[in-house]
Amino acid sequence: MTNIKKPASTSLLEKAHTHMPLGVADSYRYWGEDNTVFVKSMKGCQISDSDDQVFVDFRLAYGPIILGYRDNRVDEQVIRCISERGTISGFSTDLDSEVVSLIKSLCPNIEKMRFANSGTEAVIGAVRTARGFTGRNKVVVVEGGFHGLYDEMMWKSDVDNWDSNTQEKPEIIPFGAGIPESTREHQESVPLNDFAAIDDVFARLGDDIAAIVIEPIMGNCGSIAATQEYMQKLRDICDQHGAMLIMDEVKTGFRVAKGGVQELYGIKADLTTYAKAMGNGYPVAAFGGRGDVMDKISFDKGGVTHGGTYTANMIALSAAKATLTVLKETDALATINKVGADIQQVLSRVFDKFGIEHRFAGPDSMFGVHFGNEVPQNYRDWKKTDSELYTRFAFNLIANGVMLEPDSREPWFICEAHKDMDLNWLEEVANKAMEQALKD
């Protein structure tokens, strides 16, 4: 495998090892001693590493960058807000309602909202509100989905070690140590697009289920998408059983369409979580939905608690206001979709040249690339794709100036600033990377 790390990042990682576990601030940033990336600066669709190598970036910080790094339309508003008004006071501001109104104008399913500082916090808020409203505890999640780093959501189906001949289902295992077994108690997991599995879980637990939590387009599993019929099935079964349908739009919100996946499917969630693209890289998140459900957040007896020192801070909300205004008033998303479609064509030509069967999944603004002859329908199907070839291909792209996550479960993210990139250059690099990957 091509090593991508060079002298400056080598010494930064060595130094960082004395200060932080794995030498990184987030475990997923550790790509091994030879490949861990240290970034110096970002602009547009590019990042520069500490060795001054420039990359065209399709990872985009796991999705938040929707317009481009250091977009003046956003940054100027944030800087003005900080210098003229401040950051936090621990009180409400006019920005709170202004941003919610903007979101409501883009996402008509939202009646009331609350803010949070990260996707994880937004999911915690939505799940707690759903539980408070229904008076139930069980939550159904989808294999291969991801909903943040908190104990209850840190259980996954062990599809890697699943023997389908001897085991009916994969075992459910924690992400690692430190996650109490008791946090598993209320979670059920089903494969995406499997009607029988969802019928089964509701037949067994029906009236104990507070919510289904789903990424309808799995931003954490190669953008594998729920079918229209499957989403309708979830809507119907939730209605029949009085359960909440929570759509986790942390990655898809304000990206796949102005109104997120709900605009694409025309199916309404009871509660939705947003983060990433809503602030073009500033730390902001939100959850909201049905007014009667959100109004469960109250000081009444039996009310749901929600808040936080940094919630709705003015850095976050001024960034959200500026970003959402651009997304609402310009055709940025149309541009992003066009560039995403063009990039898939480039990649297809390269894969065809080498005779590699491939399928794209998900929307053009965040598409998954899968080596195989069928579009995966769920995580179990993803396991059948040649993800090892993808990882080799990805590392060779990175070595040649195209940044992406070397794991095909992470989609290619497109931002508006990609519109100026040179597609011929991309094709050349992709050719070289695939040629090498087939030899590695």
220 contacts: CB under 8 Å, gap ≥ 6:
144, 145, 146, 251, 409, 410
Asked if 193 touches ligand PMP (CB under 6 A), the answer is: no
Number of residues located near ligand PMP, criterion CB under 6 A = 15
Site string for ligand PMP, 270-289 (x = CB under 6 A): -----x--------------
| 412 contacts ligand PMP (rule: CB under 6 A) | no
Which residue is at the shortest CB distance from ligand PMP? Answer: 119
With a CB cutoff of 8 Å and minimum separation 6, the contacts of 190 are 140, 141, 142, 143, 197, 198, 201
| Cβ distance to ligand PMP smaller for residue 132 or 253 | 253
* Of positions 157, 193, 220, 272, contacts ligand PMP by CB under 6 A: 220
Q: Supply φ then ψ for residue 91, to 5 degrees.
A: -125, 175
In this chain, which stretch among 176-184, 215-223, 227-235, 354-362 interacts with ligand PMP, using CB under 6 A?
215-223
Q: How far apart are CA 419 and CA 233, in angstroms?
A: 38
Query: Min. distance of Cβ 301 from ligand PMP in angstroms?
Result: 31
Q: Distance between CA atoms of 222 and 251, rounded to whole angstroms? A: 12
Site for ligand PMP in 247-266 (CB under 6 A): 248, 250-251
192 binds ligand PMP (CB under 6 A): no
Q: Measured between alpha carbons, how far is 314 from 322 in angstroms, rounded to an integer?
A: 12
Long-range contacts, 234-240 (Cβ 8 Å, 24+): 234/198, 235/267, 235/268, 237/198, 237/199, 237/202, 238/211, 238/212, 238/270, 240/202
* Residues whose CB falls within 8 Å of the CB of residue 76, separated by 6 or more in sequence, listed in order: 322
Out of 4, 123, 225, 271, point to the residue binding ligand PMP (CB under 6 A): 123
Confirm if 197 and 378 have CB atoms less than 8 A apart.
no
What residues from 56 to 75 belong to the interface with ligand PMP (CB under 6 A)? 62
Nearer to ligand PMP, 313 or 400 (CB): 313
Binding-residue pattern over the window 134 to 163 for ligand PMP, x denoting contact by CB under 6 A: ------------xxx---------------
Binding residues for ligand PMP, rule: CB under 6 A, are 62, 118-120, 123, 146-148, 215, 219-220, 248, 250-251, 275
